[in-house]
Chain A
């Protein structure tokens, strides 16, 4: 049982480059989330998707876009990476009051 799988685990980007972080869950959950974690800031919600075909902004959506491709997959795209987007990114899915997290993607923008 894979749970929530994120790829890649590590990434270094140059300022202005674009990339997509992938997230897939095999638990048939409706709700999926993208968070970023910065030191001393906890996890801040970037976007979430309550069901296939719907997405909503969280606390810090600027500079990001998301796609809920199907029930399993929820991707996060950085169109033009900035150093301020250096962070650890977590994807999560939830069902019936329990959330499951991926292992995280450590992104550095130089």
Chain B
């Protein structure tokens, strides 16, 4: 059964710092997604990673995929308060399974 594990589950950062969120999964899937969710809101698609070695960047966020290690990372560069949200990774095989989410808080 496909399992998706994210860590950390909670992350408190200071503005300007860098950090990485990790997403491990249990299958050989090469379809990995990152989503953002603000409190009380729905999910917003951030990145779609479809092959080994894929790297996508948008602003201060960069996502990568290593299918051999079954690992995806979401790297945050020089965090700002607006990045405070919960971030989910999801892996797709026959269906789409989500990690538990990383609640990120960026403090001044």
Q: Is B78 an interface position by the 8 A CB rule?
A: no
- Majority secondary structure, A binding face: strand
Residues 28-59 of B contacting A (Cβ, < 8 Å): 31, 33, 41-43, 45, 48, 50
Q: Give Cα distance in the complex from A102 to B4, angstroms.
A: 22
B90 surroundings in chain A (CB, below 8 A): 43, 99
Residues 39-87 of A contacting B (Cβ, < 8 Å): 40-45, 48, 50, 56, 58-59
The number of A-B residue pairs with CB atoms under 8 Å apart is 52
Q: Which of A42, A58, A104 lies in contact with B95, CB distance below 8 A?
A: A58
Q: Is B100 an interface position by the 8 A CB rule?
A: yes
A-contact bits for B1-43, CB 8 A (1 contact / 0 none): 0001010010000000000000000000001010000000111
A-contact bits for B75-108, CB 8 A (1 contact / 0 none): 0000000000000101010111111110000000
A98 surroundings in chain B (CB, below 8 A): 45, 48
Q: How many residues in A have their beta carbons less than 8 Å from beta carbons of B?
A: 24
Asked if A33 and B95 sit within 8 Å, CB to CB, the answer is: yes
Asked if A42 and B101 sit within 8 Å, CB to CB, the answer is: yes
In whole Å, how far is B34's beta carbon from the nearest beta carbon of chain A?
11
- Give me the interface of B with A, judged by CB distance under 8 Å: 4, 6, 9, 31, 33, 41-43, 45, 48, 50, 88, 90, 92, 94-101
* 17 extra A-B contacts, CB within 8 A, seeds A40-B100, A42-B4, A100-B45: A33-B95, A33-B96, A42-B6, A42-B98, A42-B101, A43-B43, A43-B88, A48-B96, A90-B42, A92-B96, A97-B48, A97-B50, A97-B92, A98-B45, A103-B41, A103-B42, A104-B42
